[in-house]
Chain A
């Protein structure tokens, strides 16, 4: 008996090893395509980033010059500051609103909750081009937002939103909040449903109100989802392109310029492909670091 069972184990193990090669076979097609479309160009981008190149004529090796100018050029450097502001609107605010709406939607099985859920997720399915058009109109000097403000007597708050040096960036950021918060909500609802109901019952037995219940049970239970939401939204803030491009082109001045817009300008408007590649590499590296740091933090007890 003992001998045969150990033989089974051995057979299992070798089977396991063999399936891992079969697995590689299964994964070969997706991996190959991924390598072809993403990894190889990524490596080439990395290579370009050490050259001064206009995309057409012969290139010259410049070492780290492109990286240096990304960090030293005041305009390019300012894009990081803008990203920090955008993170507030693309990550923190949507997560807060997502938590709030998820908490309200899951706490009570009231009728109509599915409708709210559906509405909150709606912006996620709209294409950015259309969203940008929607909000360009909302923020227009005589657009619905200013009209609404004037209608309730808040004339002094009416602004030229996207043309205002102070307000353009927050105005853009709010578009991000509008788009992202439904996504965070869905993540959090799914996380909440995985929390053991006994924890809630115990909390209610202790006489916890909705607020205490949220902080004592829901929030700790959502750690994993929070990490995912933070990673995705922060990297999305860093990568924002179409929205800015279609609404402000990075203006007024350079007050809404993001790294991705600077990259696009360098790659497609001014022939500085090397600089564009350097910006792309820095962005990819930052995204990776952010993901690693957030994962680490969320895993630590």
Chain B
């Protein structure tokens, strides 16, 4: 029978190929972690340089980076930056492949955490930036809770300390609470100043026939969970949990309380009636279109235009314990320099420029949330940007950032996303949820060591 022969042929072929390629895949060395030893911050004398730069920014963010590139090229006319934009999902899933290409980008936006940045750093695909950190003084200028987000130990067992492998920028993306100012006014509620206030306000809104929280869980949006968790968890413990400290457990960082509260809001009917069938983008559109009173959201993701910005406010609620403000936040992209780049000095200079006060002001001018630039001025007419900028400044000064929870393991985003849907559907208890979170992270830590 010919089919059997074919199978035999294929099997023989496979065996042969195994023999031929006896070496294991990806035999790349892991000892590329040393930083370049001689670095220069002198861009002007670097000669004519062209850098390829890949990012995922569109709309206002796209305008912003175009401006930043133009300004940088004006400052250093010998430098040309060729920018490519890609869909976030596409960039995220193919960046490791692109960085191994000889024609790949010199500079790119990676995703923090083990899933992307950690793997790139460990594989020696992106430069260790320590020498530049020293040359440009990043260690002093960047708040510790932000700096840690870009660091890995050179044995690649721990994130959150060690060497710089990426840099933040003069922008940030926070998770916080938006409110529809017109709705609050007509309901006669003041913007909440605490979690307790928020719950009271939500109950009032519900009683008045409004949807308290605009939310859709179809594609497992986790902003509400992470936003709430930051109010409940201890800042240090939460940082430690995400930065690979096995002695801290998810139950120690408010996970059970947070998921319980998120589920309680679902049971009280605080989300839209069909929230399980609403995807993220639709929920955003609904909220901007005037449905719902509050929304937990990443800053900048609502895409509010200038006139809408006057009608939506933003609050970074203080911790429930009352001890300062802690918020989930990070730069909207970790800037990396490819190990294959022929002009790392110029690339690093551009990264440094992206953290400057000018780029922060350029961000505010386009309605984006600035960071690392306390003097950036938001227009008073923009209620949301004023709130967002104030929140970022507060977190900068309190050193109150916690990273996104899903950085704790490569599979964490899947785990919390899928299990959140299970909890909301009543198919999983909050305790089991927390257990599943620990199981995911601990399995990852076990295979790291």
Residue of A whose beta carbon sits closest to that of B32:
A57
Beta-carbon contacts of B120-152 to A below 8 Å, as 1s and 0s?
101111000000000000000000000000000
The stretch among A108-116, A124-132, A268-276 that forms the contact with chain B is A268-276
- Please, which residues of chain B bring their CB within 8 A of the CB of A165? 421, 425, 427
Which residues A37-52 have CB closer than 8 A to chain B?
Answer: 39-40, 42-44, 46-48, 51-52
- Is the CB of B278 closer than 8 A to any CB of chain A? yes
- CB pair A162–B218 under 8 Å, yes or no, is yes
- Are B218 and A55 within 8 A (Cβ)? no
Residues of A near B93 (CB, < 8 A) are 268-269
A-facing residues in B5-61 (Cβ within 8 Å): 7, 13-14, 16-18, 21, 24-30
Q: Does B449 contact A (CB under 8 A)?
A: no
Q: Which of chain A's residues have a CB closer than 8 A to the CB of B421?
A: 165, 251-253
Interface residues of B in 214-266 (CB under 8 A from A): 216-220
State whether A141 and B274 are in contact (beta carbons under 8 Å apart), knowing that A253-B427, A270-B115 are contacts in the complex: yes
A42 contacts across to B, CB distance below 8 A: 14
Q: How far is the CA of A271 from the CA of B447 in the complex (A)?
A: 13
Measured between alpha carbons, how far is A291 from B447 in the docked complex, in Å?
A: 38
Interface residues of A in 87-111 (CB under 8 A from B): none
* Residue B276, interface by CB 8 Å: yes
Q: Counting CB contacts under 8 A, is B417 at the interface?
A: yes
Report the separation of the CA atoms of residues A165 and B277 in the bound assembly, to the nearest whole angstrom: 10
- 8 Å CB contact of A288 from B7, B273, B417: B7
Give A159-188 as 1s and 0s: 1 = Cβ < 8 Å from B's Cβ atoms.
111111100000000000000000000000
Which B-chain residue is minimally distant from A161 (CB atoms)? B277
Determine which of B13, B25, B96, B276 lies in contact with A163 in the assembled complex, contact meaning CB atoms within 8 Å.
B276
- Indicate whether B414 reaches chain A with its CB closer than 8 angstroms: yes
- Over the window 223-267 of chain A, the binary record of Cβ atoms lying under 8 Å from chain B Cβ atoms (1 yes, 0 no) is 000000000000000000000000011111110000000000100
Q: Does A214 reach chain B (CB closer than 8 Å)? A: no
Residues of chain B with a CB closer than 8 A to A268's CB: 93-94
Could you tell me the distance in whole angstroms from the C-beta of B259 to the nearest C-beta in chain A?
A: 14
Measured in the bound complex, the distance between the Cα atoms of B10 and A292 in whole Å is 15
Give the distance to chain B from A189, nearest Cβ to Cβ, in Å.
28
CA distance A282 to B28 in the complex (A): 27
User: Out of A39, A43, A56, A248, which one reaches B125, CB within 8 Å?
Assistant: A56
* B218 contacts A54, C-beta separation under 8 Å: no
Bound together, the chains give a CA A251 to CA B218 distance in angstroms of 7
Verify A47–B17 contact, CB threshold 8 A: yes
B122 touches A57 (CB 8 A): yes
| A10-B202 Cα distance, complex, nearest whole Å | 94
Given contacts A57-B123, A253-B425, contact A163 B218 (CB under 8 A): yes
**Cβ of B277 and Cβ of A164 under 8 Å apart?**
yes
* Chain B residue nearest to A56 in the complex (CB): B123
- B113 to nearest A CB, angstroms? 11
The listed residue (B220, B277, B427) touching A159 by CB distance below 8 A is B277
* Chain A residue with the shortest CB-CB distance to B116: A271
Q: Give complex CA distance A142, B411 in Å.
A: 32
B156 to chain A, nearest CB (A): 8
What are the residues of chain B within 8 A of A46 when measuring CB–CB?
A: 14, 17-18
Looking at the assembled complex, report how far the CB atom of A104 sits from the nearest CB atom of chain B, in whole angstroms: 35
A163–B24 touching, CB < 8 Å: no
Give the residue name and chain of the B residue nearest to A57 (CB): B123
The yes or no answer to A194 lying at the interface (CB within 8 A) is no
The answer on a CB contact under 8 Å between B414 and A54 is no
Report the bound CA distance from A2 to B278 in whole Å: 84
- Contact of A118 with B by CB under 8 A: no
B92 / chain A contacts, CB cutoff of 8 Å:
269
Is B410 located at the chain interface by the 8 A CB criterion? yes
Contact mask for chain B residues 395-411; partner A; CB cutoff 8 A; 1 contact, 0 none: 00000000000000011
Within 8 Å of chain A (Cβ to Cβ): is B194? no
- Binary A-proximity of B82-121 (CB < 8 A = 1, otherwise 0): 0000000000111011001000000000000001000110
Chain A residue at minimum C-beta to C-beta distance from B423: A253
Q: Which residue of A lies closest to B422 (CB)?
A: A253
* Residues 407-448 of chain B, each 1 if its beta carbon lies under 8 Å from chain A, else 0: 000110010011101100101000000000000000000010
Q: Are B26 and A59 in contact (CB under 8 A)?
A: yes
Pick the residue among B122, B220, B419 that contacts A249 (CB under 8 A). Answer: B220
Our pick among A249, A265, A272 for the contact of B219 (Cβ within 8 Å) is A249
Residues of A within 8 A of B124 (CB): 57
In the complex, what distance in Å separates the CA atom of A269 from the CA atom of B218?
A: 19
Indicate if B282 sits at the interface (CB-CB under 8 A). yes
Which of A44, A58, A162, A248 is close to B28, meaning CB atoms less than 8 Å apart?
A: A58
The 10 listed contacts between A and B (C-beta, < 8 Å) are: A43-B16, A43-B18, A54-B26, A56-B28, A58-B26, A160-B218, A252-B276, A252-B418, A270-B410, A292-B3
Q: What are the nearest 4 A-B pairs in CB distance?
A: A160-B277, A56-B123, A43-B17, A141-B274
